[in-house]
Structure 1
Amino acid sequence: MSDIRISKIGKPDILQTSDGRLTLSVPIQIKRRSGRKLVTLPNGKIAKDQPWGASTTPLQLALARGHRWLAMLEAGEVKSLKEIAAREGVDNSYVSRMVNLTMLAPDIVAAILDDTLPDNILLFDLAVDPPALWEEQRERVKRVLTP
């Protein structure tokens, strides 16, 4: 059976006991970032696929809301974005900005879902008056990334 013990960060180590069992010592740190716990490896990189860090990011939540609200509109469940805003108790412009996210380029959407979009890309950068052409959207993202 596996046993996890937390001790001070050290060097990786493998110990073999006389009965053939192996003990693997992997130095990691657990840090909090944006309210999530992340495993930091000895080289300073963040470990991917962390089950306890699987909470949705604000961008992912906004994207999901936009798609849900667009689906409600397309299905005839509501007649306008204004009606969605009234139902949800939010501002009309907020609903409009979230629906704008449904028109993003597939690679930008994938980066949002994979949480690989750089931290300096804000919801505002993507949702407010996005260009209709995907290439122009990519250029806008690049401009935000370039200081």
Structure 2
Amino acid sequence: MSRAKPVPETVTVHIPFRLVKRGGRKEMHLPDGASSQRKMDNTLVKALARAFRWKRMLESGEFTTIAELAKCEGIAPSYMTRVLRLTLLAPNLVESIVDGQQGPEVTRAVLLEPFPLDWKTHRQLIAGTS
């Protein structure tokens, strides 16, 4: 049996996407409507875990000041205060981050910057809108 047309040696497939830095890594984002399973942002989850651990240590009286805790942890107090702010995020945003369902612009770098304390605004971050 022979074919009418020869099979090409290479096939070119065009897939529109963009690369976005997330947690120090590059991640591929497909266009709207394309199905993709998001992965958990490990650096962001780790920052959340540290924030809630430090908060618990401060609230328990184990450490009396942020400076004392930061010295024990071997990090700068200013960094610790930025990470501790993550405990002020809306609970549903924290849950979506742990599930890997937050909007693509929600990164550790973005959340370590000052953010509004209004939980309604946080809901927009889950949906991926600003």
Question: Which amino acid counterpart does residue 138 of structure 1 have in structure 2?
Answer: R
Question: Which amino acid counterpart does residue 115 of structure 2 have in structure 1?
Answer: P
For residues 59-111 of structure 1, what are the alpha-carbon distances to aligned partners after superposition, in whole Å with 9 as ceiling and x for unaligned?
A: 10000000000000000000111112111111112111111111111221111
1:89 aligns with 2:66: no
Question: Which amino acid counterpart does residue 111 of structure 2 have in structure 1?
Answer: L
The 5-angstrom pairing of residues 1-147 of structure 1 reads 34=25, 45-46=35-36, 57-139=42-124, 141=125, 145=129
Structure 2 residues not aligned, in runs of 5+: 1-24, 27-33
> What is the number of equivalent residue pairs in this alignment?
100
- Structure-2 change in CA distance of 1:56 and 1:118 (3 Å): closer
Q: Distance in 2 between matches of 1:101 and 1:86?
A: 20
Helix, strand or coil for the counterpart of 2:62? coil
Question: Which amino acid counterpart does residue 110 of structure 1 have in structure 2?
Answer: E
Helix, strand or coil for the counterpart of 2:114? coil
Tell which deviates more after alignment, 84-93 or 128-137.
Answer: 128-137
How much identity, in percent, do the aligned residues show? 32
Question: RMSD over aligned Cα, in angstroms?
Answer: 3.0
CA positional deviation for 1:46: 4.5
Greater strand share, structure number: 1
The TM-score with structure 2 as length reference comes to 0.62
Q: Distance in 2 between matches of 1:76 and 1:132?
A: 25
